Structure 1
């Protein structure tokens, strides 16, 4: 007399749905059915389930169980790969615990990417949001450059830009754009990839461009967006003069 699905699941410390899933992915053979049509699980099925559970408790993904010895014959190479993955997971968790501890002590922030904690206090809310978005678009080298830019970027012009009202008049926008443009030009001169970031993108250029556009529109008011557009045009005009100045 064998066990029903519910009984074998209970004996193995798992659920009926899990047993059925193991059948679907090919980890567990489907047993024969009794005359009443119900599956009849045998000792070999229970042992198989217990071995699978043992490997799952060790952190082995389902898709790797066959490679690490689901039938009791472990592969050292496969287990070494699993061990390496677990080591990386432990490292990530340790970093996360350290960051959470820093947040709890008030010396870190959760609304900026990892590595930007030291500059978080001087960033506006839109800038913090943008850094999080940038971290999903740019590679590590680009993010390191952005962090350097932020270390010294806060000044009166930045504060004026942050406080610009949505209904700022033409004169305010034009004057602020003229003051903001040199900052943009210096950044473009120091980090040329900003003009053509293709080599530093972790997403497709189309997706990155659309994401940046939508983010700017959502995070800044119309007057600020107008100032950014004007400042960018003026900055392009200033770039050659900056290049000439550095070459003299």
Structure 2
């Protein structure tokens, strides 16, 4: 199939002119990145809302609480996906938009290393959820059935969205909520962590004093190697130090 370019496409230029245009755009992109980081820092300082109700869900092994959804970790992100009678695609598919969001979810092992759990929640019964996950290849995503007013209480009864929680022992607090077009960018490790009250937990971040932080790159690992190698590998630390030094070299070509 042949597709013609739009008649009003941008000009075709030389490599030198293209590099100049890219350098000019890079200035704006760096400003955008700094603004995004500043917004995440402000998000980490938002007030928390105490959760007073005992919300209940149904999981593959039976009834569970909101606290159980944390799976022992400190932070929890709950995405409300529309999969239930009345939704377009039922019973073979979930909502097309929610399904695209699920398709974007990266390997959750890295998120777990930042003491954070991601789960999905719908009103479909567990047998239907299990069938859908198997069909669509979403086996890594924990997916629960909403059984009470959780969706209405947290603004996701009529539209999808991500609610973020943190716990102190058994005490649970709501810290953030994002929906609508904000959901479009979700799926990567960094997009999830930037929503959380603890952030990426790296030393370059502007976070309140006392928040957990360590050096960037060093904790990164293969997703199947965190258990076998829980500590930072000395060779990897040396390699990443050298790479970061070259990246920060002011004499080096500009990078995004």
Which of the two has greater strand per residue?
A: 2
TM-score by length of 1: 0.24
Higher Cα Rg: structure 1 or 2? Answer: 1
**Larger helix percent:** 1
Scaled by the length of structure 2, the TM-score of the pair is 0.24
Structure with larger RCO (C-alpha < 8 A, sep 6+): 2
